[in-house]
Each structure stands twice: as structure tokens, then as C-alpha cells.
Structure 1
Amino acid sequence: MTVAPPTLSDSWYGSAPYVTPLYGNPPDLPKVMAETGQKTFQLTFIQAPRGGGDCTPTWDGAVPVSADTAVARIIDGVRLAGGDVSVSIGGYGGTNLGQTCGSAEDTANAYQQVIDKYALRAIDFNLEEPEYSDPVAITKELRAAQILQQNNPVLYVSVTTVAAPSGTTPQGQNLLNTAKALNFTPNNYSIMPFNGFQNVGDQIAVLKKFHGVLMSTFGWDSATAYAHEGASLMNGRSDFGEYYTQADFQTLLDYSISHGLSRYTFWSLNRDRQCTPPDNGQTSGTCSSVPQHRWDFTRLTAQFAQRTTAMKVGVEISPPAPDAHPVLSDHGVGR
């Protein structure tokens, strides 16, 4: 039997770091919770079966959700420890249900199976290539998200997509335009300012550009746009060889909180530990390639949830004092 989720604020779902639960040496999530204060995690990815042509939700195109027991046990463990999970749809590569299901309604029905199986209160639409360039599939995904939002009133829905120097790419702008035409508003739109962004200054610049895109697309004022904006980061060495340190994440954390962003997360918790040697010159799925103590980056997502939740209820909270695991910030490679 699935353990019922606790009642958590949206700030916690906005802080959930991505986790690949079935590969990449996944950590023991209750232990991570105890060591960091993080209460939520973003489990990846729900896709169509490998090879496509089917509207059956599967983990990474391989394990049908209906047959899963391994991820269910992980979710129960998190909930028994007082936390919760979100589940992410899509990701880079693979075939997604918006590409294989016959309609938006069929797509929504497939995702509803995931929500029902795990008693979910949060879901993320991570819309990247190749589906990202298929307007028909994107329309099905967003309409499915809208149906889920309507049928599950407490469901937290995030949409994650690609960043570009102008804020987002033409495909990303099409995604936003499609959502506007559907009159669909998720809890937030998050961009991924890594792979091509050399430093934290570039990352903040693109978040500012995206803020303007949200205002111009939806007619939102500045505060509303910030409240629907998020940052999905990459810890350590990126796919393109940039390095993002704990100090960079701290700068982006402070920016996100001071501007009222509703999501601050990263790819991925599996990578939130030091490689051997600390910089192995490669992008790894199981370590960060920057000097660190384990879970340094996850401690920052926990701060985001703690501080934004406190602000919403009118309680002042200061960042935690340095402890036995100080932030390491002088890596210097690629900066």
C-alpha cells in the first residue's frame, strides 16, 4: 500500500532536486533528508516505451509504471521519513507520451495512472528535445497538464524547458504561446541555464531575460512573472564542460529568494558528491567534478524551501551558520 504524502508547502516541491531512482548509484533518500533537511525529490523520468508506438507510462522507457515496485518502495521510504516526491515527465532524449498517445486526453489518462499509482501531489513536465521541436506533441503535453490540473485540484505542476541568451529558444517561445492559447497556467515555468552559460553572471542574465519573456507573453506584472519563474540548474561540471560551484549556487539561491522565484532545483542529486579525483575532466552521472562534501548542493535547495516558506508566513529566517561541512568555493576551473 502506498504511504500517503504529508502536507508540504509548494516551496518544498519547488526545491526538489532531480533524482534518477533506478540507475546512477541513487543515494538513500531518507539518509539525505536527515543530513540536509531536504524534504522532497524529483524522480525521473516517465516516458513512452522504448521504440514508441504505445501510450503506456514507463520509467525511462523500460519499466511500466503498472508493474513497478522499486520506485514505489523509494517513495514510501521518503514519506515515512516525513517527505514527498514529485515525478518528472520527459527529459532529454527518448520518446515521450505526447509523441505516442493519440490525443491530449489519452496522454492525460496515461499520466493520471502515474498520479494514482503513487498518490502524487506534484508533477513536472520536463519538455526537451526531441519532443520539444514537435508542436503537436507539445500541445498534447500541455493540454494533458491542464487536464491533470483540473482533475487533481491540489496538484503542483511545473514546466521545465530550455534556456537561451534571449530567455528561451523559439521552441520554448512556442511552448509558452501554446500554453497561453490553452489558457493553461502551471505553478511555474523553469528554464535550465547551463550548457552554454559560462558563469553565474550569465545565468542571472538569462533569468532576467526569461522574466521579461513571461511578462510579455502572458501580460503579467513583474511580481506575477517572478512568482511563476524557476531555475533548474546543473551542479558541478556541465555537459558542455562549464563548472558551477557551490558559490555559484549560493548566488543564484540569493537571487531566487530576493526576487520571489517559485522554483530552485538542480540536476542531479545522484551527482551531489565528489568524484575521485575531485575533477576527473568528465561530466559524470554519479559525481560533480568539483571539490565538495556530499550533498552540498542539496543543502542549498533545502534552504530555498525553508526560507521561502518562512517568508510566506511572515517569519524571518537566516541562512544556517557554517557547520562541519563548509561550502567549498575556490575550484576556479572554467570560470
Structure 2
Amino acid sequence: MGWSQATGLKYITLAFYNSNGGCAGTWPSDEGTILSKVQGLRALGGDVIISSGGWNANDLARRCSDAASLAAVYQAQLDKFGVDHLDLDPEAGDVYNNLEPAIVDRRSAALKILQDSFKARGKTLTVSFTLGVHPVTGFASADLYVLQSAKNAGVEVAIVNPMIMDYYDGVSGNQMGARSVSALQGVFSQLKTLWPGKTDAQYWAMIGATAMIGQNDNPTEVFTLADAQLVRDFAVQQGMGRLAFWSLGRDNGNCAGNTAANWQCSGIVQQQWDFSRIFGNF
């Protein structure tokens, strides 16, 4: 991959694997092409995470009627790609609310089945949750319930990954880095309550962050290169577990000045792969 060769980075998340309309999954583009690119990345020493969910996702946890069938769909895809890390990104979209408690609990039960299946084969399935966050209050109650449900089901949660983006609060627009640090500090406090008994370093190691680089969906919010450096430095200082951004195809300056989020460019003045290089120093 040109990106990996140019930046030296080797790890990406594949998003999103969701329902094809029933209790079976599909990718937004050709699966064979994705597999080929994954093989190319692995040849460079890299690897991938499979992610399911996203805004208004036709979520598998919604379409599968029970935890066992849901787990089987996840398992088949993880096996096909040879992946041992599954990320879940449940969101309350305006079409599909995948934070509904029944859906959340079905997903949690399936993840427990999956982790037990991996253990039976002498392997470990790493599970992470990507969730919306607020700069002041951290996770909302519905997002916190995702973590509580997983805990209740006996799921081992490795990474809690707040989406430091799209705050829509009227004040974060020109200070996305600082507001994102505030959001992460709020999550840190919430995790201490949810999983008591760990050290501060262990809580920070459980926390990730995913920024939307450049122009966010809210026209007033722009995550700049300086914001990326601020968040990167904070993540290093605290020993956070993950730092990522949405999305790889946006890491270029091909549409500088655009005030609408575009999946092909960041909307700001930058060189290709600037954000990758900043976050790559994490």
C-alpha cells in the first residue's frame, strides 16, 4: 500500500462490516478487493481491525434474532480475514438507533460467545467499543450502558474508544484539540467508576481516541493539524491505548476550504498523509 510505504504505518481499521438486510454481513465494497489489500498490508508487517456499526448502520445486532447467530456471523468474517480484533461502533442514528438496550444486550451476549470460542481454540479475541462522547460530560447514559452491558455479560473490554468529533455544542469549533482532551478526561473518570480497582495507568491504557480529521460534519468544527499534535502529545503523556482518525482517504488537502465533510479530503490546507505522520508518532 502506498500509504504504508510513504508513512511507515501498518495498522488500519476496516469499516464497516454490517447487515446485508438479514442476519448476514457485507462490506460497502468488494470483499475480495479488501482481502487482497489486507494481504498486501500484512506483507509489509501490518494488520487490521474489523469494525461493525457506524452512523445509521444496518447493524447485525439488529438483524440477527439471537446472540448465537450474531456471534456466528462475526466469527465467520474474523476467520476469513484471520483477524483477532473486533471493534463495535454502535450509534443512535436518525434511522437506526443501535443503542437500543435489547440490541446492546444481544451484541454483548454474542461477544461473550465469541471470546469464549476464541479461548477454546487457545486464542484471544480483542474487543473494543467506539462510542460518541461530549467534551464536558463524557459518555451519555446510552453509551455508558454499552459498556455496562458488556461488563454484565462477562465481555473482556480491551479498549474504550471515544469519537472525538462532531460535538455540535456551539463552542468546540476552533478548539477541537483542547475540547477532545477534556472529553478523554471525562471518560477516564467514568471508567474508574465502571471498572473500579485499576491503577490510573491501567485506565488510560484502556482509552483510545478517534478524531475526524479536518472538516467535521458540523460546519463550524475543524480538527486541525495543531489539534492533532495536541491530542497526540496528551495520548503519549497519559499512555493511552490507541490513537486513530476517520478516515484514511481524507488525509490530504485536495479540497482545502470546503466547509462540508468529504470522505475524499480533509477540507483544510495540508500535505498528503500529514495527519498519519502526526498520529504515527504516538
Distance 2:197 2:253 in 1: 41
* CA deviation map 1:97-120 (0-9, x unaligned): 100111111111100010111111
Alignment of 1:165-204 (within 5 A): 165-196=136-167, 197-198=172-173, 199=175, 200-204=177-181
The aligned amino acid for 2:18 is Q
Q: Which segments of structure 1 move beyond 4 Å, counting only runs of 4 or more? A: none
CA contact (8 A) 1:39 1:302 kept: no
Matches within 5 A, 1:1-335: 30-49=1-20, 52=21, 54-60=22-28, 68-129=31-92, 130-152=96-118, 153-164=123-134, 165-196=136-167, 197-198=172-173, 199=175, 200-221=177-198, 222-241=200-219, 242-276=221-255, 278-304=256-282
Residue type at the aligned position of 2:98: Y
Residues 220, 240 of structure 1: alpha-carbon distance in 2 compared, 3 angstrom cutoff: farther
Return the alpha-carbon distance in structure 2 between the equivalents of residues 220 and 89 of structure 1: 30
Question: How much has 1:77 moved relative to structure 2?
Answer: 1.3
Q: 1:220 to 1:245 in 2, by over 3 A?
A: farther
Partner of 1:133, secondary structure, is coil
Work out the CA distance in 2 between the residues paired with 1:206 and 1:81: 35
How big is each residue's C-alpha offset from its partner over 1:238-295, in whole Å with a ceiling of 9 and x where there is no partner? 001211111111111111111111011110001001123x112221110001111101
Q: Which runs of 5+ in 2 are unaligned?
A: none
Normalised TM-score (structure 1): 0.76
Deviations 1:42-70 (A, max 9, x none): 11111111xx3x1111113x76xxxx312
- Residues 90 and 99 of structure 2 are in contact (CA less than 8 Å); yes or no, is this contact kept in structure 1? no
Query: What SS is found at the alignment partner of 1:77?
Result: helix
TM-score, normalised relative to structure 2: 0.89
Residue correspondences, number: 266
Q: Which runs of 5+ in 1 are unaligned?
A: 1-29, 305-335
Amino-acid identity (%): 28
Q: CA RMSD in A?
A: 1.5
Please give the alpha-carbon distance, in whole angstroms, between the structure 2 residues aligned to 1:185 and 1:258.
25
One-letter identity of the residue aligned with 1:282: A
Distance 2:181 2:25 in 1: 35
- CA apart distance, 1:155: 2.8
- Partners of 1:178 and 1:157 in 2: how far apart? 14
